[in-house]
């Protein structure tokens, strides 16, 4: 699944660690999601969308 997480994070000048702390996950999890190695669970996808004040579909797209 493709996502805009890295771009959204960079626009806010957040490190992966900053985002991880806001989402209460590990930095490694953020890295894995950004690189497409891991698809977030639905609850985590909702937390990400809420954090960026966007819809899930605006952040994550099917390949």
61 token code pair: 């797209």
The pLDDT tens digits for 25-52 are 999 999 999 999 999 999 999 999 999 9
Please indicate, yes or no, if residue 34 is contained in any of the structural domains: yes
Domain residues for the domain of 29 are: 2-55
- pLDDT value at position 63? 77
Please indicate, yes or no, if residue 19 is contained in any of the structural domains: yes
CATH number at residue 9: 1.10.260.40
Please indicate, yes or no, if residue 32 is contained in any of the structural domains: yes
Please indicate, yes or no, if residue 61 is contained in any of the structural domains: no
32 token code pair: 């894995």
- pLDDT value at position 38? 94
**What is the rounded CA–CA span in Å between residue 33 and residue 31?**
5
CB 34 within 8 A of CB 26: no
- Mean residue pLDDT of the chain comes to 97
**What is the rounded CA–CA span in Å between residue 63 and residue 57?**
13
The pLDDT tens digits for 6-28 are 999 999 999 999 999 999 999 99
Rounded to 5°, angle at Cα 28 from 10 and 45: 65
């Amino acid at each position: 699944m493709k996502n805009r997480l890295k771009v959204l994070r960079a626009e806010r000048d957040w490190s992966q660690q900053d985002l991880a702390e806001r989402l209460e996950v590990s930095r490694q999890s953020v890295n894995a999601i950004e690189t497409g190695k891991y698809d977030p669970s639905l609850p985590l996808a909702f937390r990400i969308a809420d954090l960026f004040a966007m819809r899930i579909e605006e952040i994550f797209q099917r390949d």
